[in-house]
Amino acid sequence: MKFTKNKIIFIVIFVCVIVFICFWINQNTGLKAFEKQVLNIKLPDNIEKVSMKSGIGDSGGNGNYSTYRVVFIIKTEMTIDELKEEFDNKKMTFLTHKENSELPFVYITKCESNIFESSRNFRLVFDDLEKIEDFCNYYFLEFIK
């Protein structure tokens, strides 16, 4: 099979378009899209984002390990009750989060180490926090979709 200059150019353009489409789908669907949604959430000025990680795990529902999770570590002088009230007052929701599902928009837990472990065998290790010794003002914000 003889390739002409036009065929080679067409093949290169075709491959580039396919790569671009795959990259776009990867960045705008699934876990990456959920990360973007969470990153766009405006936190109050007195809350500092320290770190973020995400992953896919089990929610305990259907057991297929398809639940998207984005976890922030934040630092603030607020208490856990004040944080919960702050997020409850925002009335924030994702399209897939049912407004009256009685489930929180975000799960807030006290950070006691650089390891986040949920009650459903989901674990994230935040390596950039290994050197922190006092986690008294640190909290995990867990967003689930």
Residue 1 confidence (pLDDT): 61
pTM: predicted TM-score of the whole model, two decimal places: 0.69
Range of the domain at 60: 42-144
- Read off the pLDDT band of 101 (50, 70, 90): very low
Average pLDDT over residues 52-69: 69
**Structure tokens of 1?**
């099979």
How many Å separate Cα 110 from the centre of its chain? 18
Lowest mean pLDDT of 32-36, 46-50, 85-89, name the range: 85-89
User: 3-state SS of 8-57?
Assistant: HHHHHHHHHHHHHHHHHHHHHCHHHHHHHHHHCCCCCCCEEEEEEEEEEE
Question: Within a domain: residue 67?
Answer: yes
Question: Within a domain: residue 7?
Answer: no
Question: Within a domain: residue 6?
Answer: no
Number of Cα atoms under 13 Å in the Cβ half of residue 116:
28
Spatial separation of the C-alpha atoms in residues 67 and 109, rounded to whole Å? 19
Question: Within a domain: residue 19?
Answer: no
CB 144 within 8 A of CB 59: yes
Question: Within a domain: residue 69?
Answer: yes
Number of structural domains, the chain?
A: 1
Question: Within a domain: residue 29?
Answer: no
Question: Within a domain: residue 34?
Answer: no
Residue 51 confidence (pLDDT): 87
Question: Within a domain: residue 22?
Answer: no
Tell me whether residue 31 is exposed, middle or buried, using C-beta atoms within 10 angstroms of its C-beta: 0 to 12, 13 to 18, 19 or more. middle
